[in-house]
Amino acid sequence: MNRFDVCEAYWLYYAHYHAGGMTRRCEGGRGIAVQLDRMRFRPSPLLSFDSLRREDREGAREAYLALVRKWEGDEQGDWAEFDLMGGAA
């Protein structure tokens, strides 16, 4: 896993779980989008939830699932993992 994987994971987490520009992770703090912008991260137009399913995206996939489990709970993380695996356990 590299830093780019982590940035992609945060971007996708933000895209899926933000509410009014904020996520549970950022309550009372800076938003994820602001932090990524300060790092000059620009996501690829091809970056999507589906791109995490590719075999070579294991690092980003693991980082994304860790974020979901940490900030949204294990049950939501299990659903995300189930969805990423194409609905097959």
pLDDT tens digits for 47-79?
888 888 888 888 998 998 898 888 888 888 888
Q: What pLDDT does residue 40 have?
A: 94
**Separation CA 89–CA 53 (nearest Å):** 14
Q: What pLDDT does residue 29 have?
A: 44
pLDDT tens digits for 33-49?
788 888 999 988 988 88
DSSP assignment string, 37-88: HHTT----TT--GGGGGSGGGHHHHHHHHHHHHHHH-HHHHHHHHHHHTTT-
AA letter at 86: G
Higher pLDDT among residues 83 and 23, named by residue: 83
Q: What pLDDT does residue 89 have?
A: 47
Counted residue by residue, the chain has a size of 89
